[in-house]
Amino acid sequence: MLKPNSPRVIPIFYKGPKENAAFRLFSEQVHLPTRAFTGRYDVLFSTANLGVWASPIPQVLMFQNSAPFERSVVNCYPLEQRGRLKALRRLSQISAVRVSSFIYLSQYSANLIDPIVNEKRRPYSVVPLGNDPHFYRREQHLARTFCESRGIRRPFLLCVSQLYRYKNLVELVEGYAGAGAAASYDLVIVGAACDPGYKEDIEAAAKRCGVGKSVWLLGHVERGDLPMFYSAAHLFVFPSRCESFPNILIEAFACGVVAALSDRGPMKEIAGAAAIYFDPTSSASVAKALVQGLSLNAEERRSLSAAATRIAQTFSWKHTSKLILESLAQSGDGAITTADKT
């Protein structure tokens, strides 16, 4: 069995300008197959939705982004961004024609994407991502002191998510206000602004709902600091309507935080009975779930926390690597090339 750090695993990294989509596409589709392959590789691992059309060797394609394939996500964007997502979906379909097998990060993702890109019914594997051992529950007094040093002095609800429109953060703010949670709890949202104008939409919703002083948009937070936020949070809330496999959920579970989650995507597939669920497109449904989460007694909180921790312990990067390498081994022998296009 090949190991990830084996000399037979050869990474090829894209080094061009990330903001130049045309240059990036040329590099992947023209430069990579004509310059990188010299006959000494057996299988290409393409890791980010687009395969290499002219690959001269067998190819395994991983889909990490489900958004272009989820109609409700595409339709929530303005026309220009909608066109970009549709183009990404079409490029994925075209490039998938020359792929030997596929990897999806969840069964939800496989059910959504495979019927669209895999017309020839080639084999696929479901390979969940792993959890970093850095994520575990910190002592409460240390976690609270850490958050207080950053100005967050009240108990709080936590959402960790980049600010994309399909993450339904406006609905989260509205639900938070509707639940009356602002009287006792702040809402802390951790994540970088990605979609233009969406951060302003979230801020406007908080102001409109009268909870502007209780909603914290912290932006990007260093990964090493996240366990402190998870451990100090009274409730973790994740309202995304579309995910392939949200590592954030596993990280939160590893820290033992009680969670209220969107009922879309793979959330139930991962969390099962260890969470409270809501419709992420309905602020009323979000509010109802928050009221339920904040009303749990101590025993109910301990039970959900323990269940979440057990689930997190079933995911590891070692297991993820093993499954990926098994999938690659079925497509080619000898050295493995990884084309990392993320």
pLDDT band of residue 27 (cuts 50, 70, 90) is confident
Output the six-digit token pair for 186: 């702040």
On whether the pTM is more than 0.85, the answer is: yes
pLDDT band of residue 195 (cuts 50, 70, 90) is very high
- Chain mean position to CA 35: 33
Residue 25: is its pLDDT beyond 90? Answer: no
* pLDDT in the model for residue 108: 96
Express each pLDDT in 71-89 by its tens digit.
Answer: 999 999 999 889 999 999 9
pLDDT band of residue 29 (cuts 50, 70, 90) is confident
Tell which wins on pLDDT, 27 or 293.
Answer: 293
Tell which wins on pLDDT, 119 or 1.
Answer: 119
Secondary element (H or E) of residue 59: strand 59-63
* pLDDT in the model for residue 282: 97
Cα separation, 267 vs 254, whole angstroms:
15
Q: What does the domain layout of the chain look like in residue ranges? A: 9-130+317-340, 140-312
Torsion angles phi and psi, residue 90, rounded to 5: -65, -40
Cα separation, 185 vs 156, whole angstroms:
5
Torsion angles phi and psi, residue 207, rounded to 5: -70, -45
List 80's β-bridge partners, or say none: none
Per-chain mean pLDDT for the chain: 90
Cα separation, 285 vs 150, whole angstroms:
31
* pLDDT in the model for residue 204: 98
Residue 337: is its pLDDT beyond 90? Answer: no
Residue 28: is its pLDDT beyond 80? Answer: no
* pLDDT in the model for residue 340: 43
pLDDT band of residue 5 (cuts 50, 70, 90) is low
Contact 241, 258 (CB under 8 A): no
Q: Spell out the SS3 assignment of 108-145.
A: HHHHHHHHHHCCCCCCEEECCCCCCCCCCCCCHHHHHH
Give the pLDDT mean for 220-229. 96
Residue 37: is its pLDDT beyond 70? Answer: no
* pLDDT in the model for residue 329: 85
Structural class in CATH, domain 140-312 = alpha beta
Q: DSSP characters for 222-254?
A: -GGGHHHHHHH-SEEEE--S--S--HHHHHHHH
Residue 8: is its pLDDT beyond 80? Answer: no
Residue 4: is its pLDDT beyond 60? Answer: no
Give the pLDDT mean for 253-275. 97
Express each pLDDT in 113-133 by its tens digit.
Answer: 999 999 889 999 999 999 999
* pLDDT in the model for residue 333: 53
* pLDDT in the model for residue 7: 61
CA atoms within 13 A on the CB side of 190: 22
Residue 188: is its pLDDT beyond 70? Answer: yes
Torsion angles phi and psi, residue 218, rounded to 5: -85, -10
Structural class in CATH, domain 9-130+317-340 = alpha beta
Q: DSSP characters for 162-180?
A: -B-GGG-HHHHHHHHHHTT
- Alpha-carbon separation of residue 273 from 130, 137, 168, 259, 318 (angstroms): 20, 20, 22, 11, 26
Express each pLDDT in 288-334 by its tens digit.
Answer: 999 999 999 999 999 999 999 999 999 999 999 999 988 988 876 54
List 338's β-bridge partners, or say none: 11, 45
Sequence-separated (6 or more) residues with CB below 8 Å from residue 6 = none
Cα separation, 258 vs 253, whole angstroms:
8
Burial of 67-96, coded b for 16+ CB within 10 Å and e otherwise, reads bbbbeebbebbeeeeeeebeebbebbbebb
9-130+317-340 shares its CATH topology with 140-312: yes
Contact 276, 334 (CB under 8 A): no
* pLDDT in the model for residue 1: 46
* pLDDT in the model for residue 3: 57
Residue 261: is its pLDDT beyond 60? Answer: yes
